[in-house]
Amino acid sequence: MKILKKTIIIIFLVSQSFVTFAHDNDKDSTKVKSQFTELNFSQNLDSLLRLWYVQQSLQTNDSGFVVSEFNDSIIPDFADSVYIKRLSELPVFINLSFNKVVRNYINLYTHKKRDLVEVMLGLSQYYFPVFEQILDANDLPVELKYLPVIESALNPRAISRVGATGMWQFMYYTGKSYKLEINSIVDERRDPIKSSYAAANYLKDLYRIYDDWVLAIAAYNCGAGNVNKAIRRSGGKRDYWDIYYRLPRETRGYVPAFIAATYVMNYYQEHNLSPRKIDLPIVTDTIMVSEPLHLRQVAEVLQIPVQMLRDLNPQYRRDIIPAYNKSYSLKLPVQYTTQFIDFQDSIFAYKDSVFFDPNSVHKAPPKYKKYHPKAPSGNYTKLYYRVQTGDNLGFISSWYHVRTSDVRYWNRIRRNFIRAGQRLVVYVPKNKAKYYKKINSMSFAQKQKSVGKKVPTSPKTTTKQKNSGNYVYYTIKYGDNLWDIAKKYPGVSNTDIMKLNNISNARKIAPGQKIKIKPKQ
């Protein structure tokens, strides 16, 4: 309950910060209080607070996460010249401009969102070394490590309103194009390491297009198409600030937010900010798993909180490592690595029938020879009916007062197809079995009469249909089909007409065509 109250206070104050963010006389800041920061921080704040390691930090920290009334005397503010000097002294390759827009974002981080920034400073001790190593290996500016700060607040489970996922906020198709595995069980956009490699390749591709890191960062947010459009509409200008108002509104705040995050992550001490202690293991080890494994198997055998395993391995959406045909990684606190190796046989065998039902992948319908239909209840008995020419399932089910679907089920019939001479199983009430046994010996007319249906008489011969011995010749009219024609003659089915006239496809009949029909006597 204590944590819930703290969260409510934070959310309220964060929402208030967007109202009071812009200075009254600053038109640019009014526009830049924009969707960007609101979306990235407000949407990710709740999920960030729900992460197990952040909750542990809040529970063990006496100061908690409560935002009190700020005393301006302990939250310093500086002149523009100080910010300009500090930005110019950072050992970075990317051009970090300073203006009113950037200043407003710095104020946002250092005044309104101090506690969130302190949480991210604590998380940075865990994630930044990972980003730095991958960026350096790809010969990219190391300061790009600050992009996940504004993309996701360093939350590996962050999901934007349009579906961008993970710390680097990859959309589905972009993630797939950079070889991230995304399916119902695994989503490597959430994997801090693999998504960082994908982000590095994506950023390299964008830099090849623009030869300018600021434009590449803008394109990372809104796509190269939008940046190219802004360049064309600006008469070919290729400076971010020259095309600023041609960019989507969210992207106008994206680059200034990146510059401000770079500043704050380097000069947080000057603003009396301190990293929040996060109970996430700084030292971890990675084990490659080549058999299917559930995180609860590891957690329960090694006595590790399953929430910790989920936070260390956020790419597994259902707690399942689906190592059927290839190996997957499992990240553990380093002190548990040797225990996993020592007890791995026990871990894989632990409740394996609960977490992985070996029979589920072998379930199939019973073989035909082993299939034995069952009576609806003990009050029913089994009878057999011999199919006659002209019968169909609708007729048979009505004669026995059962459902057509039951006749199909009892006899494994597909698409209502039956043939003359076939023996069908039918279940009827025991007390009426004597009556239903007579149906086999009845004529078609008698069977129809037993259910109150009249048998249509044979149509009179006309110029279009003539008798010839035992056959009737019928001239097909426009709109006729074999099913409707067969219903005009007692005991005749469309199959009978097709056999008698050597018709292989019932749809290939034409008006004017004469067919031969043999009505039942």
Calpha distance 36→151 (Å, rounded): 9
Q: What amino acid occupies position 104?
A: N
Which pair of tokens denotes residue 169? 């906020």
CA distances from 202 to 85, 148, 223, 228, 344 (A): 31, 14, 11, 17, 38
Neighbouring CB atoms inside 10 A of 246's CB total 17
Q: What amino acid occupies position 153?
A: A
Count of H-run helices and E-run strands, the chain: 25, 9
443 backbone φψ class: left, alpha, beta (φ>0; ψ -120 to 50):
beta
Residue in 195, 163, 162, 165 with CA at minimum distance from that of residue 178: 195
Cβ–Cβ under 8 Å, residues 275 and 124: yes
Cβ–Cβ under 8 Å, residues 126 and 302: no
DSSP conformational letter for 111 = I
Which pair of tokens denotes residue 101? 């827009």
Which pair of tokens denotes residue 100? 């009113």
402 three-state secondary structure = coil
Cβ–Cβ under 8 Å, residues 295 and 312: no
Q: Where are the beta strands (DSSP E) in 359-460?
A: 380-386, 423-429
Calpha distance 335→66 (Å, rounded): 33
Residue in 443, 392, 439, 459 with CA at minimum distance from that of residue 419: 392
Specify whether 151 is catalytic.
yes
Residue in 346, 231, 332 with CA at minimum distance from that of residue 286: 332
Which among 151, 181, 270, 300 is annotated as catalytic?
Answer: 151
Q: What amino acid occupies position 473?
A: Y
Calpha distance 227→223 (Å, rounded): 7
Q: What amino acid occupies position 53?
A: Y
516 three-state secondary structure = strand
Burial of 24 (0-12, 13-18, 19+ CB in 10 A): exposed
Cite the active site residues: 151
